[in-house]
Amino acid sequence: MPRKGRPRLAVWKFASCDGCQLTLLDCEDDLLPVAAAIEIANFREASRAVVEGPYDLSLVEGSITTAEDARRIREVRAQSRTLVTIGACATAGGIQALRNFQDVEEFRRVVYARPEYIATLATSTAIRDHVPVDFELRGCPISKHQLLEVITAFLDERVPEVSTESVCIECKRRGNVCVLVAHGTPCLGPVTQAGCGAICPAFHRGCYGCFGPMDTPNATSLIPRLEELGMDRGGVERVFRTFNAAAPAFRAASDSVKEKPVAP
């Protein structure tokens, strides 16, 4: 059946670098069909024209780091029929969630000349921690292909085909030689969700975990292997503390190496 009407899309930004929103602009050849199928009613990166809500589909980028944003996301939710979060910031708190492991009050005092101007929360949290989310699209940045799939699925009123399997399966489908097994390079692919197309192993680098934990990650088994391959405990802690540091499975992984007593 041909589709009816032209749903209205809004794109929202919270604490983030804009990279995921730009993925939408980066859809090049597909951008015109997107614009034909949906009305881009609110997208500051693309146009200053703003159409008032409510919206049929909201794409939300960024994490919640201030009390004001915590309030604004509830407004966005109230105006959106479907709300999809995009990127590691929105789905896991992003790199800025490293603050969750530290004393933010101390940063404020030490870093800023006028700490009283800084209004910030002690944590950076995922949108899901504040309002109900209909779908989470992972990645730092997200994949263009998956973003188009999410929009197409929305138009067709079906569940997006976005897999929660490991990066390893993409790596193998692509025909990459495993850098962990063949080069002895530590790689997070076995515990990371697919979606990037296993880009890093294709360029002889271990996976950095940009898409966050896969559906059943077993970091407890992978960590001793990473150590065997020469990563020290600090290295393991750091590799799990990047864009998805606060994703529960990665957080547990980095905490687990921290808690181990240091060998004499």
Partner 1 sequence: MDELSVGSKRILEREDFPRLLAALTAAGYRVVGPTVRDGAIVYGDIRTEEDLPIGWTDRQEAGTYRLERRNDTALFGFNVGPHSWKKYLFPPRERLWTATRVGSSFDVAVEEDTGPPMAFLGLRACELAGLDVTDRVFDGRVRDPGYHARRARTLLIAVQCGQAGGTCFCVSMGTGPGVTRGYDLALTEIVGPPHHYFLVGVGSPTGASVLRGVPLSPATERETGAAETLLAKTAASMGRSLNTEGIHDLLLTNMEHPRWEIVARRCLSCTNCTMVCPTCFCHTTEEVPELSGDRVERWRRWDSCFNLEFTQLHTSNVRKSPLSRYRQWLTHKLASWYDQFDTSGCIGCGRCITWCPVGIDLTEEVAAIRSTVAASPAVGGHR
Q: Which residues bind partner 1 (CB under 8 A)?
A: 2-3, 30, 33-34, 36-37, 148, 151-152, 155-156, 161, 163-166, 168-169, 172-178, 180-184, 187, 189-191, 204, 214-218, 220-222, 225
The binder of 169, among ligand SF4, partner 1, none, by C-beta within 5 to 8 A per type, is: partner 1
Q: Which is nearer to partner 1, 4 or 48 (CB)?
A: 4
What are φ and ψ of residue 224, in 5° steps?
Answer: -60, -30
Q: Which of residues 65-84 bind ligand SF4 (CB under 6 A)?
A: none
Asked if 198 touches ligand SF4 (CB under 6 A), the answer is yes
With contacts defined by CB under 6 A, name the span among 75-83, 89-97, 168-176, 250-258 that binds ligand SF4.
168-176
The binder of 34, among ligand SF4, partner 1, none, by C-beta within 5 to 8 A per type, is: partner 1
CA angle in degrees (0–180, nearest 5) for 214-254-98: 95
Question: What DSSP assignment string belongs to 93-146?
Answer: --GGGGGGGS-HHHHHHHH-SSGGG----S--B-GGGTS--SEEE--SS--HHH
Work out whether strand 39-42 and strand 55-61 pair parallel, antiparallel, or are unpaired: unpaired
Q: Which of 179, 191, 194, 219 binds ligand SF4 (CB under 6 A)?
A: 179
Q: Which of 190, 212, 213, 217 binds ligand SF4 (CB under 6 A)?
A: 190
Question: What DSSP assignment string belongs to 148-215?
Answer: HHHHHHHHTTS------SBHHHHHHHTTPPPHHHHH-----GGGBBS-S-SHHHHTT-----TT-B-S
The binder of 62, among partner 1, ligand SF4, none, by C-beta within 5 to 8 A per type, is: none
Q: Which of 187, 210, 253, 257 binds ligand SF4 (CB under 6 A)?
A: 187
Asked if 193 touches ligand SF4 (CB under 6 A), the answer is no
Asked if 167 touches ligand SF4 (CB under 6 A), the answer is yes
Least Å from the CB of residue 217 to partner 1: 8
Asked if 178 touches ligand SF4 (CB under 6 A), the answer is yes
118 and 109 in contact (C-beta within 8 Å)? Answer: no
3-class SS of residue 39: strand
- CA 196, CA 89: separation in Å to the nearest integer? 16
Q: Before 248, cis peptide (omega within 30)?
A: no
Least Å from the CB of residue 165 to partner 1: 5
Least Å from the CB of residue 89 to partner 1: 25
Which among 92, 99, 62 is positioned nearest to 210, based on CA atoms? 92
Least Å from the CB of residue 211 to ligand SF4: 11
- CA 12, CA 59: separation in Å to the nearest integer? 6
With contacts defined by CB under 6 A, name the span among 20-28, 109-117, 134-142, 169-177 that binds ligand SF4.
169-177
Q: Which positions touch ligand SF4 (CB under 6 A)?
A: 167-168, 171-172, 176, 178-180, 187, 189-190, 198, 201, 207
